[in-house]
Structure 1
Amino acid sequence: MGDAGGDGVEQQPQEELLEKANKLKEQGNKQLADGHLIQAVELYSQAIDLVPTAVFYGNRAFTYLKMENYGLAISDSDEAIRLNSDYVKAYYRRASANMVLGKYKLALKDLRQVVKTHPGDKDARLKFKACEKAAREAAFAAAIMQEEEEPLCTRVVVQDILVDPAYDGPALGEDLTVTMDFVRAMIERFRAQKLVAKRYVVAVLQQAFALLRATPSLMRLRVPADGADGKTGAFTVCGDTHGQFYDLLHIFELNGLPAPDNPYLFNGDFVDRGSFSFEVVTTLLALKVACPEAIHLTRGNHESKNMNKIYGFEGEVKHKYDAAVMTMFAEVFCWLPLCATLNDKVFIVHGGLPSTDGVTLDDTEGIDRNREPPESGLMSDLMWSDPQPFEGRSPSKRGIGMSFGPDVTKAFLDGNGLELLVRSHEVKEEGYLVEHDGRCITVFSAPNYCDQMANKAAFIRFGHDCKPQFTQYEASPHPPIRPMAYATNFSGFGM
């Protein structure tokens, strides 16, 4: 018999506990492979409760990386390294999380340790070089910003970009006006897995840049009036689309193309993860240029250079076009508005609410947004924060932004004369989730996220009373190009 614990319950032998823990770990690995990330975290946590080991913490850290909970991934990696300073994958995963957060010095420190202790690890050397390159590029970009160089979007002469004589796709006229007919033809070309000429992509980007730059950080939107034909006015809000172009087309099949009497707001994270991100964001921007009152766009945390470098959009654009086009996309992203109100009742934002009390709508409207997202402050909060079920505020599981409770939601809405918060930023099993006493809704519009999450997706329609009406839908078939096909190897480090 083993020695009884202080609570009078006989303790199990360590070998038996470890066997149970390893079975939980294997179950967690299966859930992870099947895309059930929450269940995987629960199983790894149960294993850790039985016998905390570096591997269990490392597996949970990997799962947190896939969930974009970078703060938790760093915390678990720290614990794994404390338990086993030779556990290489923990250094990799901590480096990956810090890379996403733009903390290149910390990432390099971990990778330098790996290279030093495992000099024969070719993969480690490659990752170290990639991190060094990203750090240099970030420093160079910061220096250019300080010099206030004229944006490429305003310097490129579109007419100087030649169109291949063999090009047989949709074209713009001499005045380069983007029309709805052009957009419809472009969508069909994208559906057939064909690209449009670079000249027309650049024209869309230049015009979107000018249009968005003239838009305030807070958009004050209205549900359209009822039509003369008796059609009731409605406004549609969509969440993350993450490069899932064929699911975007399904939204339009269900709900109609954007139009002045059928307006949409797409609430950030148009790109990354899905490998048709170029098609998604170019379609949305072209619709915005062709009919500005038909579609509105807010910025998500994935509309940023650092995320695009790691999660695929940069690689995709460089594969389909070139670095100059990617630079123009980055410039356009910096002018995307950060939030909106609908009928002075609904507050719409990608991430969540401020980390301090007393913030007003005027404060959000006054944000100087033409930059990459900062690590903290109001702009960061709006793009990165998440709701939590309990009251108050807590450090974010993502390592940036804050978690906010129902009391914070109530105080912000009541203080600004609003009724409802709509945000995105998190995958939900049913495509949406209503919480905080019905005053906070998360909407996510990428079904079967990354081809593995098996989640439904949803969008919301609002009438004049601003009461939400949900439409759910399943994933649509797409060509056999896997998600993350263009991502760097910093997007995760295997099991």
Structure 2
Amino acid sequence: MAGSTRVEALRSEAEALRERANAAYREQNISSAEALYSEALDKLRQAAPPLPKRKSATTAAGTTGGKAGSKTMPPAASQASPSGSATEGTTNGAGAPPAPGAVSASETDATASDAAAAGDTDDNDDAASTASSVSETHMPSDDESVPPPVAIADAVNEHTGNGSLGELVNGHTDQTEDAEATAAAAALSKVSVKEVQSAMAVLLSNRALMRLRLEQYGAAETDATEAIGWDPRYVKAYYRRASASFALGHYRPALKDLKLVTRLVPTDKDAAAKLKECSRRAKEAAFSAAIDSTAPPTQPLSETFDFKDLVVEQSYDGPKLGADGVVDEAFLSSLLVRFRSQKPLAARYAAQIVLAARRLLVALPNIVTLRVDGSQPKVTVCGDTHGQYYDLLHIFELNGLPSATNPYLFNGDFVDRGSFSVEVIMTLLAYKVACPESMHLTRGNHETLSMNSVYGFQGEVKAKYNDTLFKLFSECFRAMPLAYVLDGTAVESGRRALVLHGGLFSKDGVTLADLQALNRDREPDSGLMAEMLWSDPQKEDGWGPSKRGIGVSFGPDVTSRFLDANDLALVVRSHEMKEEGYEVEANGRLITIFSAPNYCDVQGNKGAFITFKSEMVPEFTQFSAVPHPNVRPMAYARDAAMMGLL
């Protein structure tokens, strides 16, 4: 086949895949859409001219490439792998864990239904609009005879005197940033690109959008940066990179990109609103950092707050607690019924339970050992529940209510996403207080301030209660253990399993003693604690970058070495949606369990839980989603909507 004919064939195949990906996105099948965009990119890369190396390894997002402590780590962040997948994410030392974003009615990335209603079928643009004028600002190539792709660093260098946009982005004052954003916008107006380069930018930006929806912020940031390299004038790529940076809590880099977007599309009110919100977050983060570095530590609110100060209205007809705070079977039964009917527990009793639960949790070690033997013949392990209260009740219907003889271990991510997060966490904490042996809880990456402030829990608590209750919840989350060891060795052929939310570590040699020594009363922004809550497994041996932008990807060999060194047989983790509700990897030594069926009302996945008996052989139970009241997921997540993360 002649070279030109082959190129046209590849481009046609890529376009067909892109159309299929667009359709999958409109049907809210995000995982399939991401895979199809990746396949389309593989085709188009073979037809595209090579992308020149950048003058600086610093990306425009201002992120750094951290190594995961292994000889098998991938190349630097500014390079793209041949397959088009992200090869380096933002290291967890660059800032706090994801502080996800938000969307208004005119959000930058419309939902699939919004896109369909708007008739978004433009084959020369993204799968979904990026709001008002930004959605119509693709600026397609206007010169088929231009040289190979122009890297953004080259375009900006000529007009600002800086070595790269990475250097431009690292300015320290708002005035300097404003001037440089204006200069960069002027420079970009003179850049021309070829049609195939424009197509590469669109595909990469589309895949970045899918990865934002999948919470793969590091991979989304990398895709958007490469898209800018192919087409420096493609506005959506800057916006999506800003969304990824915002989700990672990297507000200054996000601010730089949004300033450039508003210069390129000055009439876009939506982009201006996002810039204002990001600026507010950046200033708050800087102020908080300054306070933390100078102010003496303060006593937790949980240790000074008196729940008796909260008044119970005379009209309240729900379950009540006495001053002793005893949670009995009658209270629990009434609580489940009240929550099912969408009625709140009085704030006084909610605070009473949260405070009592925190006292129990703070007394536990980082790694709790739970014996599974003759005296305790089984334990049920559940994964993410994410505010899906009616599915939580379904688990209890299938497997029985929690009790000393029917204990549960819920493995993090109780809140956010689903809009009944208050009901989920209050139910779990109430059982913990009623019978500590019946309910065991580990902290997930969504039991953090940065995630709660964006993905709905903070907004939900403030809507149903107040900011004081949210602070009490946050302090309770910080008290939660980081992992459990299920120990079945009291019986012959018994084994030990480690249960933690995210995954393993960026280096060999980590021991359970190392984990026990961590200070868990903090936000998990770096180090072993962040990796426990954020890491994911990969199919390949060794280590790789985290698609999430924090933590690390670890291979089956890493899993085996860690387990062997710590006299463990199995790792059980959650953190990732699985189509069947669970997945077994690493030669049977690693299990992912996920207990939120039809995640966010669109994924169509099953949920599952595991029953372990004394032999520690996993028994899986799958289940489907049940109906819930007509309250959409993320109903309280204003910031996530605003930043296009929904």
Q: Name the TM-score, length of structure 2 as normaliser.
A: 0.72
- 2:311 equivalent to 1:192: no
* C-alpha displacement of 1:259: 0.8
Which amino acid counterpart does residue 258 of structure 1 have in structure 2? Answer: P
Which amino acid counterpart does residue 11 of structure 1 have in structure 2? Answer: T
Which residue number in structure 2 is paired with residue 110 of structure 1?
257
SS in 2 for 1:147: coil
1:299–1:338 Cα contact (<8 Å) kept: yes
Which residue number in structure 1 is paired with residue 358 of structure 2?
209
Counterpart selection for 1:40 from 33, 38, 42: 33
Structure-1 separation of matches of 2:390 and 2:237: 36
Structure-2 separation of matches of 1:443 and 1:352: 12
Which residue number in structure 2 is paired with residue 468 of structure 1?
618
Deviations 1:211-231 (A, max 9, x none): 1111111111112635xxxxx
Which amino acid counterpart does residue 394 of structure 2 have in structure 1? Answer: H
Which residue number in structure 1 is paired with residue 62 of structure 2?
none
- 2:18 equivalent to 1:25: yes
SS in 2 for 1:279: helix
| 179-188 vs 75-84, greater mean Cα deviation | 179-188
Counterpart selection for 2:629 from 431, 455, 479: 479
Identity score, percent: 53
1:220–1:340 Cα contact (<8 Å) kept: yes
Structure-2 separation of matches of 1:314 and 1:133: 17
Structure-2 separation of matches of 1:23 and 1:439: 39
- 2:566 equivalent to 1:416: yes
SS in 1 for 2:437: coil
Structure-1 separation of matches of 2:43 and 2:560: 39
Structure-1 separation of matches of 2:215 and 2:527: 20
SS in 1 for 2:436: coil
Structure-1 separation of matches of 2:232 and 2:330: 60
Which residue number in structure 2 is paired with residue 4 of structure 1?
2
Structure-1 separation of matches of 2:351 and 2:240: 37
Which residue number in structure 1 is paired with residue 507 of structure 2?
356
SS in 1 for 2:391: helix
| 346-355 vs 207-216, greater mean Cα deviation | 207-216
Which amino acid counterpart does residue 314 of structure 2 have in structure 1? Answer: P
Two-structure CA RMSD over aligned residues (Å): 1.9
1:180–1:291 Cα contact (<8 Å) kept: no
- 2:284 equivalent to 1:137: yes
Structure-1 separation of matches of 2:269 and 2:645: 15
Which amino acid counterpart does residue 510 of structure 2 have in structure 1? Answer: V
User: Against the structure 1 CA distance between its residues 440 and 13, is the aligned structure 2 distance closer, same or farther, given a 3 Å change threshold?
Assistant: closer
Counterpart selection for 1:276 from 399, 406, 420: 420
Which amino acid counterpart does residue 423 of structure 1 have in structure 2? Answer: R
Which residue number in structure 2 is paired with residue 176 of structure 1?
325
Q: Name the TM-score, length of structure 1 as normaliser.
A: 0.93
SS in 1 for 2:440: strand
* C-alpha displacement of 1:72: 0.7
Which amino acid counterpart does residue 370 of structure 2 have in structure 1? Answer: L
SS in 2 for 1:329: helix
SS in 1 for 2:319: coil
Deviations 1:291-324 (A, max 9, x none): 1111111111111111111111111111111112
Deviations 1:371-402 (A, max 9, x none): 1111x311011001111111111111111111
SS in 1 for 2:622: strand
1:89–1:493 Cα contact (<8 Å) kept: no
Which residue number in structure 2 is paired with residue 88 of structure 1?
235
2:541–2:556 Cα contact (<8 Å) kept: yes
User: Against the structure 1 CA distance between its residues 313 and 494, is the aligned structure 2 distance closer, same or farther, given a 3 Å change threshold?
Assistant: closer
1:350–1:423 Cα contact (<8 Å) kept: yes
Which residue number in structure 1 is paired with residue 162 of structure 2?
none
Contiguous gaps of at least 5 residues in structure 2: 45-198, 489-495
Structure-2 separation of matches of 1:88 and 1:200: 50
- 2:584 equivalent to 1:441: no
* C-alpha displacement of 1:183: 2.3
| 149-158 vs 163-172, greater mean Cα deviation | 149-158
* C-alpha displacement of 1:489: 4.2
User: Against the structure 1 CA distance between its residues 139 and 331, is the aligned structure 2 distance closer, same or farther, given a 3 Å change threshold?
Assistant: farther
Contiguous gaps of at least 5 residues in structure 1: 227-231
Deviations 1:439-464 (A, max 9, x none): 00000000011111111110000000
Which amino acid counterpart does residue 50 of structure 1 have in structure 2? Answer: K
2:538–2:554 Cα contact (<8 Å) kept: yes
- 2:273 equivalent to 1:126: yes
- 2:303 equivalent to 1:309: no
Structure-1 separation of matches of 2:552 and 2:442: 19
SS in 2 for 1:470: strand
Structure-2 separation of matches of 1:219 and 1:103: 33
Structure-1 separation of matches of 2:27 and 2:546: 26
Question: Could you say which structure has the greater relative contact order, defined with CA pairs below 8 angstroms and 6 or more residues apart?
Answer: 2
2:504–2:535 Cα contact (<8 Å) kept: yes
1:70–1:397 Cα contact (<8 Å) kept: yes
Q: Over alpha carbons, which structure has the higher Rg?
A: 2
2:501–2:533 Cα contact (<8 Å) kept: yes
- 2:165 equivalent to 1:165: no
